Structure 1
Amino acid sequence: MLTASQHQLIQQANLTFDQLSTERFYSLIDSQQLLSAYSDAELVKFLQIVNALYRGGEPIISDADYDGVYLAELKRRNPEHEYLFSVEPEPLIAGKTVDLPQRMLSTEKAYSRDEVERWIERIEKAAIELNKSADEIRYRITPKLDGFAAYDDTQRFYTRGDGRKGTDISRVFARGLQLANQQQRIAGPGEIVVKRSYFNQHLADSFDNPRNFVASVIKEKDLDTHAQLAITEQAAIFYPFASLPSWEGDKQTLLQVYESIDINDWADFDYDIDGVVLEIVDAEIKAYMGATRHHHRWQLAYKKNLDTAEVVVFAITPQTSRSGRITPVAELEPVRLSGALLSRATAHHYRMVLDKGIGPGALIRLARSGEVIPKIEAVLRPAEPQIPNHCPSCAHELVWDSDYLLCPNTLSCPAQISNTMEHFFRILKNNDGFGAATIKKLYEYGIRRVDEIYQLTAEQFESMGFGPKQSSNLVEQLVRSRSESVEDWRFLAAFGVFRMGLGNCEKLLSHYALTDIFSLNEADIIRLEGFAEKTAAVITEGFAAIKPLFDSLMALGFTLQSTQNLRIENAHVLAGKTLVFTGTLQSGTRDELTKQAKACGAKVGSSVSAKTDYLVIGENVGANKLQAATEKGVQIISEQDFLQLLSSEISH
């Protein structure tokens, strides 16, 4: 049961149990095997609540389970879900909420060598594109602190908040908080931590864990004796990331040492860590790779997960995905791994099943590497595989497509149709109530397309077995979905065209209007950065397939925000320019100014590179971006200069 203080943390985070009852919340903690019975909305609500408890120092599940079980399940179901691209917010702290001087992102996590090697491949590709030698890339490893993320600009001190806005907690320095190793304050991010030895000796009887104690240092208006003493004795400190102990070397050495580096490799490092952070040193490659909405592409957090088990396969169950691919799922004798009772494992595709002999009676080594459905690491004793001939959803004959078995019955396969309709509402995100259960019932009553759903009345919903109140709510949500403003790239991504996730949709629509994409040929798409020849062929074919549904939905009157930059002769003075914002902005949030700049045809980056045209500076600017702009010859302008450009007449 949740304690009073845990309930308080949930309330402070403005969270409720509206989409997830407390009973189902407790059930999911007790039995992870129930995950498949929970909707995406319930899973996201669960993640939000347990994250708020963890950030507030009152965790109810382990960090490993959060990453490796529940968050991994959301990634498996919906890799493009917005929650995966948002920075996990720190708990609300008493104080003034302000824009952070620098955006504080999360760190992408890896649990296996394959993930680390794929990350290195992306870095080497970026280096080659910059005409740099991949062999000369230097890598750095630092400990991943397990504390409370914060940002110091040397004048004010902030919580990380949601990565964009934090809370001013400068009072913590006024209380006497020092930096690690008694150094002077430097601008940049870091973590508030407490010495492990001090916590074990003086605080373990009063606090459940170090995070719980650190949260008390920040939250309490009047510090208790424990917190004040820890600050006075410099056991509780702020550790800037720039000052962390580190290892540096080339790729080959990195691959030899990163798995073995742990807290013992830094003998004097007396703070809790939960992994290591890998990153590159080269500033130009960093700037070129940039960041997603969630994490820097040039950085990776590696967490060990070495649990394996040998288990017997009972059967292979085929499942039909939205794309028609048949996914083989191995049903196993139940085994406990990393604290979870597991009975299924992914076999990725049927070529793997065939080649490795994964069938009833096979003995496999199971590894849980941050995935809810763990992977098969090795087949120790092969068996005769079971290869289906027909789709488990529609019974249509299957065909081979490279390594995959495919159901070609795209127009009549129940699983493909239902998953496609559910995907549309899930990606659009401006509606409630159209999860798997609702879509399944609609399918049973003959609904086969999303546009058919939007034309249903409350009476029709009732005739299908929905209650009067639920029917009325569903109609209201459909009206909301059409009237509530939504980005055009999100609308396009909801159609589920292969290779057109949220990122690629936004990239494409920054060059072409939404209504013009159906006339694009492969050459038009290939010309855009990030789109390969094979990808372009798949995309144009996909656009042709969704055109009838697209036209039908557009006729219903959706309210779309355009991100397209018209390339017309009379363009705005900012059209085609690349901007980077830095410092605290006064005329609006960074998001608001970014939207205004994009509306004029500008591109907005997160870091200064040789391609940047303007560095727009606000107040409390850090030295790094200014130095980078000076070195690369980037024009530095004030926020007022930017506003004048924004309001300029179009050029001729």
Structure 2
Amino acid sequence: MSIQLKINALRDQLREHNYNYYVLDNPTISDYDFDIQLKELQALEEAHPEFYDANSPTLRVGGAITKNFNTVVHKHRMYSLDNSYSLEDLKDWETRIKKSIDGDVEYVCELKYDGASINLTYQNGSLLKAVTRGDGMQGDEVTPNIKTINSVPLQLKGDYAEEFEIRGEIILPYDGFIKMNEARVENGEEPYKNPRNTASGSLKLQDSAEVAKRPLDCLLYGLVGGDFDYKTHFESLEKARKMGFKVPKEAKLCQSIDEVFEFINHWDQARHNLPYETDGVVVKVNNLHQQDELGFTSKAPRWAMAYKFKAEQVSTVLNSITYQVGRTGAITPVANLEPVELAGTIVKRASLHNADQIEKLDIRVGDTVYVEKGGEIIPKIIAVNLEERPADSKPTEYITNCPECDTLLKREAGEAKHFCPNYNGCSPQVIGRIQHYISRKAMDIEGLGGETVALLVKAGLIHNYADLYTLTKDQVLPLERMAEKSADNLLAGIEASKQIPFERVLFALGIRFVGETVAKTLAKHYKSIDALAFASVIDLEQVNEIGIRIAESVVDFFSDPKNQDIVNRLKTYGLQLQISAEKLASQTDKLKGQVIVVSGVFHSVSRTELKKLIEDNGGKVSSSISSKTSYIVAGDNMGPSKKDKAEKLNIELITEQDFLNSLE
């Protein structure tokens, strides 16, 4: 046997042993024999570097150093999941689903593991790259670190698509977490707080050899893209298993919502016997065509819902109440608690939301309160133990003036929160707005973080986000922890932000109630900052999905002379304050005022492309048929109930080709 054939044979054998041990939990060779084979392969590879393979089993030990993790845009967005906390929520979700799609609905239930989300890309059967979830649009590439995790296949088994992605969770089993902490305590180091944060932090370690020492695991749950022939989510899980991925065997196909409830009730108790942390159940519509019909909201798929198990509760003492000022001027009261352990972390603070919540629960300093993590993420006070209340207790009086600038607070009719109206003079608002401006979903200015923004404001170097574009190297170098290289990176990041497209600049401005989706809608409709600035409340309300609150907020923003000055300065600095000519060329008003429903299976273009064509040509896509529907673009397998409804309302059905022809 030639050297190359021997190397390849050893690699194949070791991959199979690795799969049996880490994925199937069914070892077919002793640890000693595995190590002997691994050492033999290492010796052969060292002697014959011409046969190097980036995905060889010998490279699991790590060693690559990554100083800066590259930001990678996800080919397919990684959406969040809508959460439910009761079986009634799930019933409401099922009702919404059955209004939108025809036929019987099957569900797949999977346990929701508490770890760090990861997106793996495979090409020709080999791991190409691994990217963290990030903000869902883009994440950090952590491929060298992921390659050290034994349950992640570096080379796939069986048949597979030429290129595809698969998503999952990087988790740290309880046993491994305990051993890591025992070792840290022995070395006189502080133990890690919980498995989830430790797993997440491991992905960003610079030395992959250090990652290799941690007993991380990878559980996969979702194939994305690729030329596969499965028609249901449950089939896709089985396909993933056959390719060598570790897909949790607890996933179950359910024929009804009642079976979903049985699964939830069983695992609400049985989860405590699992080797990993889990905080709920993810319920998905099984049929992929039905998933396609249901589509997505701006944040989450309509075809999936996360059911969160009841949060752990503890009691502790409320020591004091302080007040925080947000970037919009909103005041948030914060409970400062006697430190207490809750769901694996030490909790010292909890949100009290607003004055109404304090009054409703009659929360007072000195009270013994019950705390839980809302969705097991953000701590909140849910009740007061009145039996433990001190005899000299006094009702909480909500503050009347801003805790930062002493301006008299306002509370508009119908608003839950109090606001500080000192828009340009209240330091946390100024800092918060600039921090929002530079954030990833907005201007994404590399080299500039929230702490540096605060330093720049406190040093008097900037007073608003337009001032960023006048900064010089001499001004930023004296800042704390600012070296020559970091100063260059900061200024380069600011310069690069001038290429960010208009809709993201509009979002970055921080206009109240104008989030990502609203910014896109306004940018698309008005096409330039000048046209938007001259719009009246009545004009704005005519735009799809723009209500009175958003309209008034936009008009208020552009009516302020200081904001007008800032926007004018941004123009002179060369920012993108209108839709580019290239993008405008692909947009028309051919479908203006039309509400169009897309239903069925399509062949010339995908459903997503159809919807984009409708929006690019001024139309509005609707997920449900009503008297306002202009017409339906009907593909194959359109549901009979939708056809019946269209006939009753006398709504026209047109083919995919007729629709495409109408745009030419």
- Give the alignment's TM-score, normalised by structure 2: 0.57
- What pairs with 1:351-370 in structure 2 (closer than 5 Å)? 351-370=356-375
Q: 1:434 to 1:263 in 2, by over 3 A?
A: closer
- What pairs with 1:240-319 in structure 2 (closer than 5 Å)? 244-249=252-257, 260-262=265-267, 275-278=280-283, 290-292=295-297, 295-319=300-324
Q: 1:326 to 1:339 in 2, by over 3 A?
A: same
- Which of residues 474, 488, 513 in structure 2 aligns to 1:499? 513
Report whether the alignment pairs 1:508 with 2:522: yes
Report whether the alignment pairs 1:174 with 2:174: no
Shift of 1:454: 1.0
Shift of 1:415: 0.9
User: Partners of 1:467 and 1:157 in 2: how far apart?
Assistant: 40
Percent of aligned pairs with the same amino acid: 20
User: Partners of 2:88 and 2:218 in 1: how far apart?
Assistant: 35
- Which of residues 451, 470, 490 in structure 2 aligns to 1:437? 451
1:486 corresponds in structure 2 to 500
Shift of 1:442: 2.0
1:108 corresponds in structure 2 to 81
Report whether the alignment pairs 1:397 with 2:408: yes
Q: Is the 8 A contact 1:345 1:375 kept in 2?
A: yes
1:18 corresponds in structure 2 to 68
RMSD over aligned Cα, in angstroms? 6.2
Q: Is the 8 A contact 2:477 2:483 kept in 1?
A: yes
Q: Is the 8 A contact 1:106 1:294 kept in 2?
A: yes
Shift of 1:571: 6.0
Amino acid at match of 2:552: A
1:26 corresponds in structure 2 to none
Amino acid at match of 1:108: L
- What pairs with 1:198-597 in structure 2 (closer than 5 Å)? 211=217, 244-249=252-257, 260-262=265-267, 275-278=280-283, 290-292=295-297, 295-381=300-386, 383=393, 384-401=395-412, 402-426=415-439, 427-446=441-460, 447-462=462-477, 467-482=483-498, 485-515=499-529, 516-545=531-560, 546-559=563-576, 562=579
Q: Is the 8 A contact 1:107 1:299 kept in 2?
A: no
Shift of 1:409: 1.3
User: Partners of 2:320 and 2:613 in 1: how far apart?
Assistant: 56
> Residue 350 of structure 2 aligns to a residue in which SS?
strand
Q: Is the 8 A contact 2:293 2:599 kept in 1?
A: no
Q: Is the 8 A contact 1:581 1:606 kept in 2?
A: no
User: Partners of 1:553 and 1:539 in 2: how far apart?
Assistant: 18
Q: 1:386 to 1:247 in 2, by over 3 A?
A: farther
Q: Is the 8 A contact 1:138 1:281 kept in 2?
A: yes
- Which of residues 601, 608, 617 in structure 1 aligns to 2:617? 601
Amino acid at match of 2:109: T
User: Partners of 1:7 and 1:497 in 2: how far apart?
Assistant: 53
Shift of 1:282: 11
Amino acid at match of 1:496: G
What are structure 1's unaligned runs of at least 5 residues?
20-44, 49-82, 88-98, 178-184, 194-206, 216-229, 616-624
User: Partners of 1:607 and 1:173 in 2: how far apart?
Assistant: 40
2:637 corresponds in structure 1 to 627
User: Partners of 2:564 and 2:57 in 1: how far apart?
Assistant: 49
User: 1:439-489 CA distances to partner (integer Å, 9 max, x unpaired)?
Assistant: 22222233312112211222333466755554444333222222xx32211
Shift of 1:124: 6.6
Amino acid at match of 2:519: C
User: 1:498-522 CA distances to partner (integer Å, 9 max, x unpaired)?
Assistant: 1111111112222221231122223
Q: Is the 8 A contact 1:488 1:560 kept in 2?
A: yes
Shift of 1:596: 9.4
Q: 1:371 to 1:448 in 2, by over 3 A?
A: farther
Q: Is the 8 A contact 2:107 2:254 kept in 1?
A: yes
> Residue 335 of structure 1 aligns to a residue in which SS?
strand
Q: Is the 8 A contact 1:104 1:164 kept in 2?
A: yes
Q: Is the 8 A contact 2:504 2:516 kept in 1?
A: yes
Q: 1:337 to 1:346 in 2, by over 3 A?
A: same
Shift of 1:431: 1.7
- What pairs with 1:189-200 in structure 2 (closer than 5 Å)? none
User: 1:172-198 CA distances to partner (integer Å, 9 max, x unpaired)?
Assistant: 5528x9xxxxxxx9xx999999xxxxx
- What pairs with 1:120-131 in structure 2 (closer than 5 Å)? none
1:73 corresponds in structure 2 to none
User: 1:534-576 CA distances to partner (integer Å, 9 max, x unpaired)?
Assistant: 3333333234344332222122111467279869998679998
Amino acid at match of 1:405: H
> Residue 405 of structure 1 aligns to a residue in which SS?
coil
Shift of 1:300: 0.9
User: Partners of 1:507 and 1:410 in 2: how far apart?
Assistant: 26
User: Partners of 2:600 and 2:129 in 1: how far apart?
Assistant: 18
What are structure 2's unaligned runs of at least 5 residues?
1-55, 144-152, 170-212, 222-237, 644-652
User: Partners of 2:411 and 2:567 in 1: how far apart?
Assistant: 29
Report whether the alignment pairs 1:142 with 2:102: no
Amino acid at match of 1:529: N
Q: 1:395 to 1:107 in 2, by over 3 A?
A: closer
User: 1:380-422 CA distances to partner (integer Å, 9 max, x unpaired)?
Assistant: 2365325223212112222334432221211211111111111
User: Partners of 2:58 and 2:90 in 1: how far apart?
Assistant: 39
Shift of 1:594: 8.8
Q: Is the 8 A contact 2:284 2:304 kept in 1?
A: yes
Which stretch of structure 1 is more off in the superposition, 349-358 or 405-414? 349-358
Give the aligned length.
499
Amino acid at match of 2:253: P
User: 1:240-274 CA distances to partner (integer Å, 9 max, x unpaired)?
Assistant: 99x94215248xx98x86852538899xx9x9986
